[in-house]
Amino acid sequence: MNRHISWAFLAVSVAFFLFIVGLTGYRLENARAQNSLLARDRLIDITAKVASIRTTYVSLDSPAARKELRGLFDGEPRLLLMSVHSPNDGILYLVSRNSQYLKEPAAPTAQWRGTPAYQVSKGYEVVLSRPLDGNAAGAVLDAVFVIMGREDLYPIVRDDLYLFLAFLLVGGVVILIVVSVQGVPSEAERPVRGPADPHGMTSPRSGLYRAEHFEAKLHAELERVTALGQDLALARIRIDEPFADSHLPAVYTEIARVLLLRFPAHECLFESGNDLFTALLPEVDIDAAVRSLDAFRKAVSSRQIEGKARALSIGVSSRGGRLLSASTLLEEADISLSKASREGGSQVVGFRADPSHYRAGATA
């Protein structure tokens, strides 16, 4: 990758990292806020149940009351500690999942007085208090709730990991694509290279074979494919509206470049005038020739050549299993080219021979 792409990838990576950090922070705070609200709602419900138990059994010291209180505590997975205490009677009930939540040891005895001191992890646990009987001077219920536990962290970390892996995958694919694209020069960057030409048969302006060599090549190819029972397509390619364009020589050279890139049989590509090209496509039938030439036409029209898009009219003929002369094959291509130009240009027209005509001629 070049320096610009490296800096761009680094900037995207930093932006993605900041996005992940921001998203994680938002989700953590959102989970804490929701769990804090849930803890307050649960505290109201727990307080009402403890008050009911106290009313039912008069005292929280009875075994039946303690059994119900323990069941209430065990049924709240986010409740880490629950204590009931009053200024006059000390601790009436205390249950905790871990002694670490008490800063100082305390026991529900008549000798102990005061308010228990709790030790919690800020941001992960919270201490909530509520009067048991609506009187602030009476019994108070303290509860320690977890507001950010493993069950809350796991989905956030999991989603972050998935996003990170997706970024690595997409980034890797993009890097591979960029490297592969940079490793292959574009059509505009590739030089025009015709075939090896020790005898000066190609034109220096286009890299195509000169027009005077076309007839001999056509006869030779037609004889070869006829002997082998193969097909041969012939295309005539004209630049639309050539005479109104002062940039025609440069346009001709650039279109020749695309022609050489699209058709590897360079010895079958010829200049035919200031606005005309001729191409032989060995072992290609009329349908395949039309498709490949239309792709070539679209490749030319999709780029800006000397400041504007260029249109081509193309006529194609093919041997199609017929015994015909080189002049007939060329004439059919010219007829198709004329039709393409008459009907608005910027299109490929294939010459479709009438098989019955040739069958009748063969049996006459």
Q: Are residues 14 and 144 in the same domain?
A: yes
∠ CA 347-353-355, nearest 5°, is: 150
Predicted confidence band of residue 215 (pLDDT cuts 50, 70, 90): very high
Q: Which of 116, 136, 151 is the last residue of a domain?
A: 151
Closest CA to 46 of 20, 74, 21, 22: 74
Q: How far apart, in whole angstroms, are the C-alpha atoms of residue 23 and residue 146?
A: 22
Q: How far apart, in whole angstroms, are the C-alpha atoms of residue 79 and residue 64?
A: 21
Residue 89 lies in a domain: yes
CATH assignment at residue 327? 3.30.70.270
Q: Are residues 232 and 355 in the same domain?
A: yes
Q: Are residues 143 and 226 in the same domain?
A: no
Residue 199 lies in a domain: no
Please spell the DSSP secondary structure of 291-316, one letter per residue.
HHHHHHHHHHHTSEETTEE--EEEEE
Q: How far apart, in whole angstroms, are the C-alpha atoms of residue 280 and residue 282?
A: 6
What total of structural domains would you count in the chain? Answer: 2
Give the helix/strand (H/E) hosting 234.
strand 232-239
pLDDT the model gives residue 166 = 92
Predicted confidence band of residue 35 (pLDDT cuts 50, 70, 90): very high
At residue 37, what are phi and psi to the nearest 5 degrees?
-65, -40
Closest CA to 266 of 217, 308, 323: 217
C-alpha count within 13 angstroms, C-beta hemisphere, residue 280 = 28
Which range, of 122-126, 242-246, 314-318, averages the lowest pLDDT? 242-246
Q: How far apart, in whole angstroms, are the C-alpha atoms of residue 330 and residue 328?
A: 5
∠ CA 191-267-255, nearest 5°, is: 45
More confident position, 144 or 105 = 144
Residue 319 near residue 329 (C-beta atoms within 8 A): yes
Q: Which of 151, 186, 220 is the last residue of a domain?
A: 151
SS3 label, residue 325: coil
Residue 221 lies in a domain: yes
Q: How far is CA 197 from the centre of its chain?
A: 46
For residue 101, give Cα distances in angstroms to 98, 143, 197, 288: 6, 11, 92, 82
Q: How far apart, in whole angstroms, are the C-alpha atoms of residue 191 and residue 199?
A: 21
Tokens 């941001």 locate to 123
Q: Are residues 122 and 230 in the same domain?
A: no
Q: Are residues 357 and 222 in the same domain?
A: yes
pLDDT the model gives residue 199 = 63
Residue 342 lies in a domain: yes
Residue 357 lies in a domain: yes
Q: pLDDT tens across 47-97, in order?
A: 999 999 988 988 888 899 999 999 999 999 999 999 998 877 778 888 888
Residue 170 lies in a domain: no
Q: Are residues 246 and 355 in the same domain?
A: yes
Q: Are residues 14 and 108 in the same domain?
A: yes
pLDDT the model gives residue 108 = 53
Residue 266 lies in a domain: yes
For residue 139, give Cα distances in angstroms to 132, 203, 233: 5, 106, 102
Q: Which of 127, 151, 175 is the last residue of a domain?
A: 151
pTM beyond 0.75, yes or no: no
Closest CA to 319 of 237, 234, 235, 236: 234
Q: Are residues 103 and 228 in the same domain?
A: no
Which range, of 96-110, 251-265, 348-362, averages the lowest pLDDT? 348-362
Has residue 361 got a pLDDT over 50? Answer: no
Q: Are residues 145 and 232 in the same domain?
A: no
pLDDT the model gives residue 34 = 94
Task: Output b/e per residue, 225-252; b: 16+ Cβ within 10 A.
Answer: beeeeebbbbbbbbbbeeeebeebeebb
Number of residues assigned to the chain: 364
Q: Are residues 144 and 216 in the same domain?
A: no
pLDDT the model gives residue 171 = 86
Q: Which domain holds residue 9?
A: 3-151
Tokens 């070049």 locate to 2
Q: Are residues 235 and 353 in the same domain?
A: yes
Tokens 């806020």 locate to 33
Calculate Rg over the CA atoms of the chain. 44
Q: Are residues 218 and 336 in the same domain?
A: yes
Residue 186 lies in a domain: no
